[in-house]
């Protein structure tokens, strides 16, 4: 019954009741007793009370539906914000499962992300403690009822899992579950997924409305999975382009060194033919120095190529590996400090790593540094990266406002991120600082 029906009922019911009462009175003997009139009035009052009760119940049902719809809209809105926020896929999907489980009112929830070959890549749970999850063991492989949703795209709404002939039962240490609600997560990319709820609260059964609600959350999960896939594709493309850029720099650098070597060899030969051994030795010394510099540049470029971020690796692990390799190549002591609350927004990992690499290249080439400190800090308004060397000779180092090629490249990368980069001498070294607002 809709609100429009209730309005008409409120108008028609009293009129109909009065007409009915008058008809009954007029059809009786004119000298009706007081008792008859009281009885008729009592009947009328009872009917009015009944109509009022039915109306209140209908309004209450409508109110509950409106509250449920409002809660669902708020939960879906929150899930949409989570999807668009700068969070990892696991974090987003965990929030989607948790919101769906809380809204529908079930004890357990789960979401699986399935690759194109049918294997499960991610399996996230809600309502199960980490200790319980560890005792259950590895994620499911997609047999039984999970496979029905996985391979056939079928929705399931079962009052008792154990009574379904397709059920394979539960592994050891798995909590007992009876009711099940499952819908497929249909993605546009090469992935798919399934969203499950089990054990509705107070022993109730899942309803058709619960199924429709879960389907809407499955849409949010699909958007999150597709977004993560597209972000990974873009990130992989950016890394490939950066590798090509580094390779071009290596090629150009080697070509310049070979040209320089050729010039110095010709000069040394000319001096030797003239019997000027001292001058020839000076040319060979310059040639040896250039060779050492070229060797250092080549080793550093190879390290840069090997330590670029990827979807499978966190920025912290990439930085740790790079600093270990850079320390071994340069002999300069390094210290890395990363804020435990740090969350690197997607899209800035590559540029951040490259800024670190270029800053440390400047340290190796232009400073007599004994120690380098790198700090990556989380702040409410953004992310701050600091690369600072100590006891620097500062030989040939550009000022903070200078136009050195290394600093210019770092500033350009900072601008791509919408951030700022400052650089300059300190009392005992040189500091480069990157700020990227959230």
Q: Which two tokens stand for residue 218?
A: 């499955």
pTM passes above 0.85: no
206 and 170, same domain (yes or no): yes
Distance CA 145, CA 278 (A): 86
Distance CA 221, CA 128 (A): 20
Look at residues 79, 111, 139 and tell me which one is the last residue of a structural domain: 79
357 and 394, same domain (yes or no): yes
423 and 316, same domain (yes or no): yes
Residue 275 in domain? no
Distance CA 326, CA 364 (A): 9
Task: Give 239-255 pLDDT, tens digit per residue.
Answer: 677 677 767 766 666 77
164 and 114, same domain (yes or no): yes
Quote the percentage of the chain above a pLDDT of 90: 3
Residue 303 in domain? no
Low-confidence winner among 112-126, 302-316, 413-427 (lowest mean pLDDT): 302-316
25 and 74, same domain (yes or no): yes
Task: Give 216-232 pLDDT, tens digit per residue.
Answer: 888 888 777 777 776 67
The mean pLDDT of 11-39, rounded to a whole number, is: 63
Task: Specify the number of domains making up the chain.
Answer: 3
Task: Give 403-418 pLDDT, tens digit per residue.
Answer: 455 788 888 888 888 8
- Confidence band, pLDDT 50/70/90 cuts, at residue 148: low
Domain of 146: which CATH number?
A: 3.30.450.40
144 and 43, same domain (yes or no): no
428 and 331, same domain (yes or no): yes
Q: What is the pLDDT of residue 402?
A: 40
Q: What is the pLDDT of residue 386?
A: 92
Residue 251 in domain? no
Residue 22 in domain? yes
- Cα angle, residue 414 at apex, residues 372 and 228 outer, rounded to 5°: 105
Look at residues 221, 252, 279 and tell me which one is the last residue of a structural domain: 221
DSSP string, 175-191: PP---EEEEEE--SSS-
107 and 22, same domain (yes or no): no
Look at residues 177, 192, 221 and tell me which one is the last residue of a structural domain: 221
52 and 96, same domain (yes or no): no
71 and 97, same domain (yes or no): no
What backbone phi and psi angles, to 5 degrees, belong to 359? -65, -40
Residue 348 in domain? yes
Residue 425 in domain? yes
The mean pLDDT of 302-319, rounded to a whole number, is: 70
Residue 305 in domain? no
Q: What is the pLDDT of residue 34?
A: 59
Residue 255 in domain? no
Contacts for 65 with CB less than 8 Å, ≥ 6 apart: none
Domain of 395: which CATH number?
A: 3.30.565.10
Residue 224 CB neighbours (<10 A):
28
43 and 95, same domain (yes or no): no
The mean pLDDT of 176-181, rounded to a whole number, is: 82
Distance CA 314, CA 268 (A): 50
Distance CA 204, CA 72 (A): 19
171 and 49, same domain (yes or no): no
Residue 107's domain comprises 86-221
pLDDT of 156 over the 50 cut: yes
Contacts for 109 with CB less than 8 Å, ≥ 6 apart: 97, 98, 100, 101, 125, 126, 127, 195, 196, 197, 198
């Amino acid at each position: 019954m809709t609100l429009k029906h209730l309005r008409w009922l409120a108008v028609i019911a009293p009129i109909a009741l009065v007409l009915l009462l008058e008809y009954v009175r007029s059809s009786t003997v004119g000298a009706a007793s007081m008792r008859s009139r009281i009885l008729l009035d009592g009947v009328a009052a009872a009917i009015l009370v009944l109509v009022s009760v039915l109306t209140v119940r209908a309004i209450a049902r409508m109110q509950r539906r409106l509250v449920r719809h409002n809660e669902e809209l708020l939960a879906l809105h929150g899930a949409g914000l989570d999807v668009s926020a700068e969070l990892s896929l696991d974090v987003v999907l965990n929030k989607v499962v948790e919101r769906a489980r809380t809204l529908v009112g079930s004890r357990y929830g789960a979401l699986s992300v399935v690759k194109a070959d049918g294997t499960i890549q991610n399996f996230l749970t809600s309502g199960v403690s980490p200790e319980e999850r560890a005792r259950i063991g590895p994620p499911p492989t997609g047999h039984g009822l999970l496979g029905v949703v996985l391979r056939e795209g079928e929705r399931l709404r079962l009052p008792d899992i154990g009574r379904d002939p397709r059920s394979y039962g539960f592994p050891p240490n798995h909590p007992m579950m009876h009711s099940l609600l499952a819908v497929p997560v249909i993605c546009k990319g090469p992935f798919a997924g399934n969203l499950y709820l089990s054990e509705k609260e107070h022993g109730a059964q899942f309803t058709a409305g619960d199924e429709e609600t879960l389907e809407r959350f499955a849409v949010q999960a699909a958007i999150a999975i597709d977004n993560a896939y597209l972000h990974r594709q873009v990130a992989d493309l950016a890394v490939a382009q950066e590798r090509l850029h580094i390779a071009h720099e290596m090629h150009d650098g080697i070509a310049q060194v070979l040209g320089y070597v050729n010039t110095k060899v010709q000069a040394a030969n000319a001096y030797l033919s003239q019997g000027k051994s001292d001058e020839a030795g000076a040319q060979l010394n310059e040639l040896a120095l250039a060779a050492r510099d070229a060797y250092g540049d080549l080793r550093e470029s190879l390290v840069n190529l090997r330590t670029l971020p990827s979807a499978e690796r966190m920025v912290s692990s990439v930085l740790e590996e790079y600093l270990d390799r850079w320390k071994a190549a340069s002999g300069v002591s390094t210290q890395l400090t990363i804020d435990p609350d740090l969350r690197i927004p997607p899209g800035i990992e590559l540029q951040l790593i490259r800024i670190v690499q270029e800053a440390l290249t400047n340290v190796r080439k232009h400073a007599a540094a004994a120690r380098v400190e790198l700090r990556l800090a989380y702040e409410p308004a953004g992310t701050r990266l600091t690369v600072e060397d100590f006891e620097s000779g500062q030989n040939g180092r550009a000022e903070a406002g200078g136009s050195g090629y290394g600093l210019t490249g770092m500033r350009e990368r900072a601008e791509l991120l919408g951030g700022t980069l400052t650089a300059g001498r300190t009392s005992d070294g040189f500091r480069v600082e990157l700020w990227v607002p959230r």
